[in-house]
Amino acid sequence: MSSQAQWLKDDHQSGQIDLFDAPGGEGSPPLFVTCEGCGFHHKPNHPSCPKCKREARRGEIPPAPPVDDNGQNRTFSLPPQRTDGSKAGSAPQRQLAAKLRKLAEGLDATIAGKLGPRQENTPKRIKEAASARIDGERWRRVQQALNELAAYWEQGRPPEVLAGVRSKKRAWDLLGSKLEMVSNGLHQYYFETGEPQNEGAEALALWELCKPKSEEEKKADELAQAIREVKGVKIPGYFPTPPGIVELMISKADFPKQFPWGPDGKYPAQVTCLEPSAGHGAILDALPACIPGAYEVNAQLRDILKLKGWPLLGSDFLAAPVDVKFDRILMNPPFEKGKDIDHVLKAWNVLEPGGRIVAIMSPGPFFHTTRKAEAFRAWLDRAPEHYELDDLPEGWAKESGTMVCGKILVIHKSEETT
């Protein structure tokens, strides 16, 4: 710092930060003018402002932003906005505020498109979706910052360090986040860390205008990231049940339309439902009101179920002793080594009389000549009072990354069956 006080001044036209000395030596306030053309304060007789009326007045020296040991700006304190709703800005300032608000409003469709649901059933689509989310979060920060800046300009109190931010592009350039690479073993993509990429005073001040995410939003991001990390990963017997198939399963489960609610007001009394191989919860997420229970053998998928708040009764349904019975059992179990047969047979044993099983199965158990498949078909013709078997449409699981064929089996248990 020279013997004369220096202060930050934003050129209202170029948007570049500039340093110049305050007249009168250290401690003396600088002499500057209020420009009626641009609404900002700058040097008298500024050559780039033909509309300037050059009405000189004296003011306070803005404090320099704090720096770390390496001379980098770390934080920037912005002046508080008025809370009484008053708008004291000049006509040009209010016009600029209206422009900024219009720019922010125009970003709604872009943000929705970038952050909306996308197919992520191939490595290429996973990478494209990750890139779109990064852009969407950045545009959301741009929108927040433009709205906050508009409020400052309406009140005639624009932060000097941010007076050059008057376009989407300028805000976009300043609001980039540091990125971190993620690899799930098969492919790599990036996600935002939430830390500013640019650590200059202007960028840090603009980041302060962006509202931090709520705890609920942070938990939702954590859950979404956990789900993304298992996409494309080869987990034996696992692929997410597509939403259309889940809807079909629930319709065939024939949940009661009217029933009394439980004493806690959360679940209906006496209606229980089990998902014995729950995956990441695709079926559980769509269930109507009921008392749910779940099993999942994979630890990574169990973590996702815990983040969602689903009650886990155990890990391996086939190995666990099940002491309770359920009114509805919906499942898309592993097909390998006839595990779908094993799941259906055990589910029958824990199904309440009058209950119903809806299972996605491989076609194999219904035509293979192995002892296991033949014994299952014989049991199916003997034990249940009634069952229905239908083919699933070709490509039913394509969006989950597999072209496996499948059938849907519905088994009814009579009230008299023990």
State the pLDDT at residue 232.
Answer: 64
Distance of alpha carbon 119 from alpha carbon 126, whole angstroms: 8
State the pLDDT at residue 338.
Answer: 92
For 118, 127, 227, the CA distances from 183, given in Å and listed in that order, are 19, 11, 13
Amino acid at 52: C
In the sheet that 312-314 helps form, which strands lie side by side, from edge to edge? 312-314, 291-295, 272-275, 326-331, 351-361, 407-412, 386-391
Six-digit token pair at 296?
A: 């999942």
Six-digit token pair at 409?
A: 């089996």
User: CB within 8 A of 349, min separation 6: which ones?
Assistant: 322
Element (H, E) at 91: helix 91-105
For 151, 209, 354, the CA distances from 145, given in Å and listed in that order, are 10, 5, 58
State the pLDDT at residue 17.
Answer: 32
Tell which wins on pLDDT, 390 or 62: 390
Element (H, E) at 206: helix 201-208
- With a cut of 80, say whether residue 272 has pLDDT above it: yes
CB 79 within 8 A of CB 157: yes
Q: Mean pLDDT throughout 105-109?
A: 95
State the pLDDT at residue 329.
Answer: 96
Q: CA 395, 397, 398, 401 torsion: positive or negative?
A: negative
User: In which residue ranges of the chain is CATH 3.40.50.150 found?
Assistant: 243-412
CB 347 within 8 A of CB 331: yes
State the pLDDT at residue 364.
Answer: 94
Report the chain's mean pLDDT, rounded to a whole number. 78
- Which CATH architecture group holds 243-412? 3-Layer(aba) Sandwich (3.40)
φ, ψ for residue 121, nearest 5 deg: -100, 5
- With a cut of 50, say whether residue 27 has pLDDT above it: no
CB 326 within 8 A of CB 352: yes
Shortest CA distance to 227 belongs to which of 301, 124, 293?
301
Q: Is 9 helix (H, G, I), strand (E, B) or coil?
A: strand
Q: Is 153 helix (H, G, I), strand (E, B) or coil?
A: helix
Tell which wins on pLDDT, 161 or 87: 161
Tell which wins on pLDDT, 226 or 172: 172
Q: Which of the four pLDDT bands, split at 50, 70 and 90, describes residue 134?
A: very high
CB 274 within 8 A of CB 293: yes
- With a cut of 80, say whether residue 178 has pLDDT above it: yes
Strands 188-196 and 177-183: antiparallel
Shortest CA distance to 379 belongs to which of 336, 324, 342?
342
- With a cut of 80, say whether residue 34 has pLDDT above it: no
Q: Mean pLDDT throughout 95-105?
A: 94
